[in-house]
Amino acid sequence: MKLTYKENAIVKIIKIREKFVKIHKDAFSDLLFDVVHCTTRHHYSQANKTVFRYETFDEDLDGRDISIMVESMNGLNLTPIIKPIYAFGFVDTTHLNHVVVFKHPLTKTWFYVRDMSVRSNCDSCEGDNESEISVNEEKTLEKLFTLHFTNDERLELFGDANYLC
């Protein structure tokens, strides 16, 4: 699955300004695995303990839970994170550190993932882990940037070519 013409144009502007790095599908899964499953030891999944903050402006998409991030929810099993169609993170930005934008392989919608963290309060167990992640979803990349990024963030990414504002 390829990006649309408009999605390619948006990605090219950011790429020209050297503000993002493409993330390989496997690296994407590695990046989100511990956070989504609320695990540091990889013994079992505690995805139900992960604080999952979700926001969208599209009524058709509203109400998603953490299961959208994994291939399947199977009890305590550590199921793989979905493999995105396209994913990138931002580099050398003031406002956008530790942020990932990706296109979901099943829904074909765009996600903006930020505020990812996993903490362990126990050196030998999974029981005291805490995990959180914030996710925004929209049907198009343009809507995602327009509705969920601040003016300063868009200006930093697109510069004078900020036709999204």
Please report, for the chain, the start and end positions of each structural domain, with discontinuous segments joined by +: 5-159
Q: d(Cα 41, Cα 18) in Å, to the nearest integer?
A: 35
- pLDDT, residue 1, reads 60
**2-11: which pairs have CB atoms within 8 A and are 24 or more residues apart?**
3/85, 3/86, 3/103, 6/140, 6/141, 6/142, 7/86, 7/103, 7/140, 7/141, 10/141, 10/142, 10/145, 10/164, 11/86, 11/88, 11/141
- pLDDT, residue 5, reads 82
- pLDDT, residue 147, reads 92
Average pLDDT for runs of 10 along the chain of length 165: 80 77 85 88 88 94 90 80 88 66 92 88 79 94 89 78 54
Task: Indicate the burial class of 148 (C-beta count within 10 angstroms; 0-12, 13-18, 19 or more).
Answer: buried
- pLDDT, residue 163, reads 55
- pLDDT, residue 165, reads 47
- pLDDT, residue 134, reads 93
